[in-house]
Amino acid sequence: MALFGGGITFEPLTGDDLDDIAGLAADAWYSPDGLGDMTSAAMEGTWLDDSERDRVARLMATDEIAAYLQEMTWGVKALLKGKMVGVIVTHGTHTSAETAEHFGHVGAEARKRAEELLTAARERAEHPDNIEPTEPIYLDEIRATKEMRAEAGLGSIPRILLLVVSAEARGHGLGKRLINRALDHFRRHGAERYWLVTDTDCDWSFYEHLGLERLADRPGMVPGAPEHYFVYGGRA
């Protein structure tokens, strides 16, 4: 516990942190050993070795993280001995068209490169299944989020866009410490409430333990998507 207590430092996110954040996300959401494997549907019908699978997973994670960073208005990383072990990103206190344009380009390029690798892998397969390329699963989350946000009447209330903690740091209170820093940020900007989206591939019960209220839910609608998405809200 002490290792993840006094040994943790917090610093503001910068544009140079994208690769490290994508690494956290790839390990958590794009790996058979993580909380979920959102590469499985996209890799169906392909022939990839382990290094190629890792590369595709990293590119898919980069695409998703870039989508979050397009909307980022504040973010903090948690470091342990110089290594990123957690990150939180929020939206709702200001906007930056330049940031949105930059990360939009980064995400589109990562998606293009991932699809090129997957297309080549399908062509190498001895028995190709003629499977059409699939859209990134995070686009299904965006669809569900729009519906849930409208249903819950969240409007311009600020949002936690992204919270990721590395496997070795989970269970040591780091997620709560990151959220508390986000709440401090919201309060400094006069926000009284906030919300976030989670799903059944994540530890959604964590938010209930924090006292947040489930405001809406939607099913996943594409192959490989989480079974359900949830919106939780709380007081800043």
- Residue-range domain boundaries for the chain: 2-235
Please report which confidence band the pLDDT of residue 1 belongs to, taking 50, 70 and 90 as the band edges. Answer: very low
**Interval 32-55 mean pLDDT:** 67
Does the pLDDT value for residue 86 go beyond 80? yes
Q: Domain 2-235: which topology?
A: Aminopeptidase (3.40.630)
Beta strands at 8-12 and 193-199: parallel, antiparallel or unpaired: unpaired
Q: pLDDT for 93-142, tens place per residue?
A: 656 667 678 778 888 888 888 888 777 776 766 555 555 556 778 889 99
Burial 142-162 (b: 16+ CB within 10 A, else e): ebbbeebbeebebeebbbbbb
Please state, for a pLDDT cut of 70, what percent of the chain lies above it: 82
Q: Which residues contact 108 (CB under 8 A, 6 or more apart)?
A: 63
- Find where tokens 């519906």 sit: 147
**Interval 44-65 mean pLDDT:** 80
Residues in the chain: 236
Please report which confidence band the pLDDT of residue 230 belongs to, taking 50, 70 and 90 as the band edges. Answer: very high
Q: pLDDT for 170-190, tens place per residue?
A: 889 999 999 999 999 999 999
Please report which confidence band the pLDDT of residue 83 belongs to, taking 50, 70 and 90 as the band edges. Answer: very high
Q: C-alpha 178: how far from its chain's center?
A: 15
Does the pLDDT value for residue 228 go beyond 90? yes
Q: Can you tell me the distance from the alpha carbon of 120 to that of 140, in angstroms, rounded to the nearest whole number?
A: 25
Q: Which residues contact 208 (CB under 8 A, 6 or more apart)?
A: 214, 232
Question: What are the C-alpha distances in Å from 78 to residues 84, 187, 209, 210?
Answer: 6, 21, 22, 20
Among 1-5, 117-121, 197-201, name the most confident range.
Answer: 197-201
Helices assigned H by DSSP within 153-191 = 174-188
**Interval 138-167 mean pLDDT:** 95
